[in-house]
């Protein structure tokens, strides 16, 4: 039995790159798409964990801007899986108080998926137990570019003085505006990179990597990540003494 982590030491917002579905399936001599289906079960494990631990926000990288270039069969299977999850899981998530949000460029997605995304967002908008954000068609560079474009349109129309553009204003036009930035970033599957995920928002996020493949993720692994996070000193550019409230 591991000691409980004090609520003040827990992350408020966890962001995850769910990597390793394909390898999980290939190791079993099964098609990659089976790995994605197993990955969908691990999503449920992760949501259960966050609800049980009182984590406020969970942001999952489900499909990157670059994933559109995967083999068409794999993209097609992922679309089917997304549609299936949106059809089958939203009721239960709503019942459990989960607010669903989607970030990313939606234009490439089939209309049925876009409609279900919009419906799920509207239906769950009032929920407060957990904000579950699914990044789909998402790229960190896309996010910064779309925020810059919105500001440029305002400036060109004379409604915004370019001199007033600062980090706060740009940040308020990014996809996760309204949520605290992620405290803890988890990447499964062994690679040590950010892969164009939340480039702006991860500026001071604590990074945690594991070799475990996403479909093998369980509550014990997530607890280990949170326990590691709880031990870290977050300085945000200050000194240790400043953080401890002592002399500067």
Nearer to ligand FPP, 28 or 149 (CB): 28
23 is in an annotated binding site: yes
Q: Is 186 labeled as ligand-binding?
A: no
CA proximity to 65, closest of 99, 97, 106: 106
Q: Is 193 annotated as a binding residue?
A: yes
The least distance separating ligand FPP from the CB of residue 5, rounded to whole angstroms, comes to 25
**59 phi/psi in degrees, rounded to 5:** -120, 120
**197 or 214: whose CB is closer to ligand FPP?**
214
- Does residue 20 belong to the site contacting ligand FPP (CB under 6 A)? yes
The answer to whether 69 is a known catalytic residue is no
How far apart, in Å, are the Cα atoms of 170 and each of 60, 99, 101? 22, 24, 20
85 near ligand FPP (CB under 6 A)? yes
What burial class does residue 246 get, using C-beta atoms within 10 Å of its C-beta: 0-12 exposed, 13-18 middle, 19+ buried? exposed
Q: Which of residues 131-150 bind ligand FPP (CB under 6 A)?
A: 134
SS3 for 184?
strand
Smallest distance from ligand FPP to CB 238, Å: 36
Nearest of 152, 151, 133, 247 to residue 201 by alpha carbon: 133
Size of site (CB under 6 A) for ligand FPP: 19
By CB under 6 A, which span of 78-86, 95-103, 158-166, 172-180 interacts with ligand FPP?
A: 78-86
Q: Among the options 67, 127, 196, 216, which is catalytic?
A: 67
Distance (Å, rounded) from C-alpha 150 to C-alpha 148?
5
Mutual angle of helices 32-53 and 72-88, in 10-degree steps = 40
Q: Is 127 annotated as a binding residue?
A: no
Min dist CB 230 to ligand FPP, Å, is 26
Instruction: Determine the interface stretch with ligand FPP among 37-45, 94-102, 154-162, 231-239 (rule: CB under 6 A).
Output: 37-45
Residue 201 near residue 177, CB atoms below 8 Å: no
The C-alpha atoms of residue 66 and residue 195 are separated, in whole angstroms, by 10
22 binds ligand FPP (CB under 6 A): yes
CA-wise closest residue to 90 among 126, 117, 58, 62: 117
The residue range among 32-40, 100-108, 163-171, 238-246 that interacts with ligand FPP, by the rule CB under 6 A, is 32-40
Catalytic (active site) residue 67: yes
* Number of C-beta neighbours around residue 128 at 10 A: 9
Binding residues (CB under 6 A) for ligand FPP: these are 18-23, 36, 39-40, 43, 60, 62, 67, 81-82, 85, 134, 189, 214
């Amino acid at each position: 039995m591991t000691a409980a982590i004090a609520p003040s030491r827990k992350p408020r917002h966890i962001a995850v790159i769910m990597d390793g579905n394909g390898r999980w399936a290939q190791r079993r001599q099964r098609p990659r798409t089976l790995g994605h289906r197993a990955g969908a079960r691990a999503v449920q494990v992760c949501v259960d964990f966050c609800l049980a631990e009182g984590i406020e926000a969970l942001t999952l990288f489900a499909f990157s801007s670059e994933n559109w270039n995967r083999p068409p069969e794999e993209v097609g299977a992922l679309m089917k899986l997304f549609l299936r999850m949106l059809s089958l899981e939203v009721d239960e998530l709503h019942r459990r108080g989960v607010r669903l949000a989607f970030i990313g460029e939606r234009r490439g997605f089939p209309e049925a998926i876009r409609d279900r995304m919009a419906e799920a967002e509207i239906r769950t908008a009032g929920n407060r137990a957990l904000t579950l954000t699914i990044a789909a068609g998402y790229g960190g560079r896309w996010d910064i570019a779309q925020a810059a474009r919105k500001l440029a349109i305002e400036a060109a129309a004379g409604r915004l003085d370019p001199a007033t553009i600062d980090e706060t204003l740009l940040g308020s036009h990014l996809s996760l505006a309204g949520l605290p930035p992620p405290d803890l970033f988890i990447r499964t599957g062994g690679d040590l990179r950010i892969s164009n995920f939340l480039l702006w928002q991860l500026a001071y996020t604590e990074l945690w990597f594991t070799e475990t493949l996403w479909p093998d993720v369980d509550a014990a692994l997530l607890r280990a990540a949170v326990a590691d996070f709880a031990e870290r000193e977050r300085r945000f550019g200050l000194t240790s003494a400043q953080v401890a409230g002592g002399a500067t």
